Structure 1
């Protein structure tokens, strides 16, 4: 029960990494707020977790909705100890082919949301005397990915922002770290399988990116989030933890 008595707010928690993290946090004793634009799916996730979970509909690029989500967390569970900034979006395109509105959307969802959620969460976390923020970045923050200009820029920004936030709030005993996942199986890839001409080849190509020759699973990122949210990582802040099956080691 490594999170006994803790309250966590997780964005993008209706599926994938976010849902897996919410489930693990509850198992480890936390009360969690499952925040997502897809409120119906968020409610299904929260319902499966019982009375220690609450679903909240939130668009992470709208400040008032984020403020309301933080307020709902405090009202329901009495405070806030942990924030997991997981909401994210990916769109193909180089700087030439990416539409300006798509660029703005990715930067807003992937990067601005980290700023906004942290802006409203940190004052509440500070009231508890200590806490943790976990930002979900990507291996794209360490190396370029063809045809993903906006995505790479946004995730690189998350890594840089993590370091800056960690310095700004160290004296409040708020530890701020980031996870950089490699290829993690998700609904995003499930959708892509329906669009590609060779699904088997597509999957094999994804597996081949990692030296261990497989894709990661959401629970494998959730376990790292648990480590960073718990006291087990009490001396870690401002760090980027890569979980990618060896992809960036090449």
Structure 2
């Protein structure tokens, strides 16, 4: 018994990277998992197209999942987009776009799923934060602000819904080996040197693996974590709290 038998979950941004690892992990544990993505994988029976920036699309996709699955027990708000630059570098339009996806996207999906989560006896929401929410990183003003807002939102949601039996937590990865990070490395003047710098920035000396983040999400989503709510689990190789000597 893994704790996920008969659990019905949906994962936003589940077509690639950390999202795909989460989908695979939950399915390994026995959950039925729907993938919500702007570009859902072809041939995937439980895949639904949804732009988390559009409330109508979110509501339609969540309702379709609930109808197909007979309800929803777990929501993983993983969909997000990156941004680089200082406060002087991003336009108002870019700020609105990133906050709309990274913060309001989680709001829209959670809001649409609440009627079904309230009927579940193992309801859980897991948000995807970032080390950028709690550590100042160069050229990450907008991205870090969006993840900081999501960190705070997790705590407020946990307080609002704990008495309804809905647990709300988050995972905060360090720099992870994802397609977005790979694209950033490829665009650097010296990709090998940039990769070495990112590896060295984390105390355990390497990038975080997507499967490691998925393991943390699986724990928080599991009915076995019934007394865990309002928590942000850091999967960052010690970056948030350790100050090791080189």
Q: TM-score range by the shorter chain?
A: over 0.9
1:3 and 2:4 correspond: yes
1:140 and 2:140 correspond: no
Structure 1 residue 57: deviation in Å?
0.5
Structure 1 residue 123: deviation in Å?
1.4
Structure 1 residue runs of 5 or longer lacking an equivalent are 47-52
Task: Please name the residue that 1:155 is paired with.
Answer: 147
1:191 and 2:187 correspond: no
Structure 1 residue 148: deviation in Å?
1.3
Structure 1 residue 129: deviation in Å?
3.4
Structure 1 residue 226: deviation in Å?
0.4
TM-score (norm 1): 0.93
Structure 1 residue 231: deviation in Å?
2.0
Distance 1:245 1:168 in 2: 31
Of residues 100, 106, 112 in structure 1, which corresponds to 2:98?
106
Task: Please name the residue that 1:49 is paired with.
Answer: none
Distance 1:189 1:166 in 2: 30
Distance 1:220 1:194 in 2: 23
The answer (yes or no) to whether the contact 2:122–2:223 under 8 Å persists in 1 is no
Secondary structure of the structure 1 residue equivalent to 2:118: helix
Distance 1:17 1:72 in 2: 24
Task: Please name the residue that 1:244 is paired with.
Answer: 236
Distance 1:193 1:135 in 2: 26
The answer (yes or no) to whether the contact 1:129–1:172 under 8 Å persists in 2 is no
Distance 1:234 1:222 in 2: 18
The answer (yes or no) to whether the contact 1:43–1:54 under 8 Å persists in 2 is no
Q: Tell me how large the CA RMSD over aligned residues is.
A: 1.1
1:176 and 2:168 correspond: yes
Task: Please name the residue that 1:167 is paired with.
Answer: 159
Deviations 1:157-195 (A, max 9, x none): 001000000011011110000111001101112212321
Structure 1 residue 100: deviation in Å?
1.1
Structure 1 residue 143: deviation in Å?
1.5
Q: Of Structure 1 and Structure 2, which has the larger fraction of its residues in helix?
A: 1
1:72 and 2:64 correspond: yes
Distance 1:136 1:194 in 2: 24
Secondary structure of the structure 1 residue equivalent to 2:137: coil
Structure 1 residue 147: deviation in Å?
1.4
Q: How many residue pairs end up in the alignment? A: 241
Task: Please name the residue that 2:42 is paired with.
Answer: 43
The answer (yes or no) to whether the contact 1:85–1:114 under 8 Å persists in 2 is yes
TM-score (norm 2): 0.95
Secondary structure of the structure 2 residue equivalent to 1:194: helix
